[in-house]
Amino acid sequence: MANRPETTPEPKSNKPALQLHVPEPKYRPGDEVDYSHLEIPEAGTQPRPDETSDPKDMLDFAYGLVRVLGDDNKAHGAWDPKLDADTLRTMLRNMAMVRAFDDRMFRGQRQGKTSFYMKCTGEEATSVASSMALASDDMVFPSYRQQGILIARGYPIVDMINQIYSNKGDKLKGRQLPIMYSSREHSFFSISGNLATQTPQAVGWAMASAIKGDTRIAATWVGEGSTAEGDFHNACTFATVYNAPVILNVINNQWAISSFSGFAGAERTTFAARALGYGLAGLRVDGNDALACYAAQQWAANRARANAGPTLIEYFTYRAEGHSTSDDPSGYRSAQEREEWPLGDPVMRLKNHLIELGEWDEDRQSAMDLECAELVKAATKEAEKNGILGHGMHHPFHTMFEDVYEELPWNLEEQAEQAIRERQVKWPKGGPGA
């Protein structure tokens, strides 16, 4: 059939033709980067509202930017949490440990020791600093880039690596993808690869806590792209209707894999502004300012504990590296973005603040970075004794049938025995997961 020539339909009236808008990032590979269009207020200029404020009186906080650390490396304004030097050093060390852990695990993936890994470079403050503002038994419902919460809560590095390697030491028995941790003891809910499912789960847990008259609150983390998921909006509705003691943390790192934040609505408004339509309190925060992250989470936690309502916090930050080890960001964004990002690096900013206070120096920073690297290296070697990808050192095959029922039903026990016999025939000398 011959190709028909393309024709423009004749207008049926003198009305203007409709046009579809497709969001497009400002910079693509090879482009010069200029972030002068971003409105970055001076640190300390934002007032701190009462923790029981009515959400309708907080309009400006959904569009502004809470900042504490200034270009002079000093803390400014009403949002300064006034943390002591020891707490600040602990916060800095936790972020340094996350960075060392990420670097080692990234190399391990490239060496074929695991199939997958996700770094959080540039976003450390959004998990470490914010989680440190919570009580240790507050329940957290993380996404897949919040390894900093586990590290801040003292979860063993060896156990994290065992999970990533899915080896015989993996406490989750190889049932979760790498980096999708879970720890009841650390009030850390299982990470899911299904986007935004953790948000209604966090709200539901918070509602249950309130029903029981408990004192624990819930907090959840989600990427800005995932706010386009229905689960996120369901969570916002339930949170505000039932006044759930929950914090909804949105990490706006500008990119959802290769889709920039405009596809989730960033061209039209801020993500914190989504709180307004639901009657939620909304805060927009400098996500590369550890003190601001801590202060905002503390404010929201106090609000929840006072039964004053839930809070949605947008952390305005930048994903400095690829989405995962399967991603190459050079294919969709300018290489200059990371260096030109106007809010800097969260680790460097906190380090410089401690130096400005006279509580730190470059030599101690170097020594701490080396110590963290060595600790992660030692933990990695210990975990590798339990096996790496393709080694066959997994949990016994029978465990794939366990942990669903308190007592294994006869039919599953029969299936398990049959499967084991077939494996013994196929691998008489003992094969994978024998």
Place of tokens 């899911």: 192
DSSP string, 29-50: TT-----TTS--PPTT-S----
Cα 409 to Cα 304: distance, rounded to the nearest angstrom: 43
CA distances from 86 to 82, 156, 208, 359, 366 (A): 12, 22, 35, 9, 18
Mean of pLDDT over the chain:
95
Reported confidence tier of residue 195, pLDDT bands at 50, 70, 90: very high
- pLDDT, one tens digit per residue, over 355-372 is 999 999 999 999 999 999
3-state secondary structure of 284: strand
Residue with the bigger pLDDT between 395 and 66: it is 66
Is the pLDDT score of 71 beyond 60? yes
CA angle 77, 55, 304 (to 5 degrees): 80
pLDDT (0 to 100) of residue 12: 67
- pLDDT, one tens digit per residue, over 378-427 is 999 999 999 999 887 888 888 888 998 999 999 999 999 999 899 889 88
Q: Stretch 98-104: mean pLDDT, rounded?
A: 98
Reported confidence tier of residue 92, pLDDT bands at 50, 70, 90: very high
Phi first, then psi: give them for residue 163, nearest 5 degrees.
Answer: -65, -40
Reported confidence tier of residue 2, pLDDT bands at 50, 70, 90: low
Where b means 16+ CB within 10 Å and e means fewer, 213-241 reads eeebbbbbbbbbbbbebebbbebbebbbe
**pLDDT-above-70 percentage for the chain:** 96
pTM given for the model: 0.93
3-state secondary structure of 252: strand
Is the pLDDT score of 27 beyond 90? yes
Amino acid at position 164, single letter: I
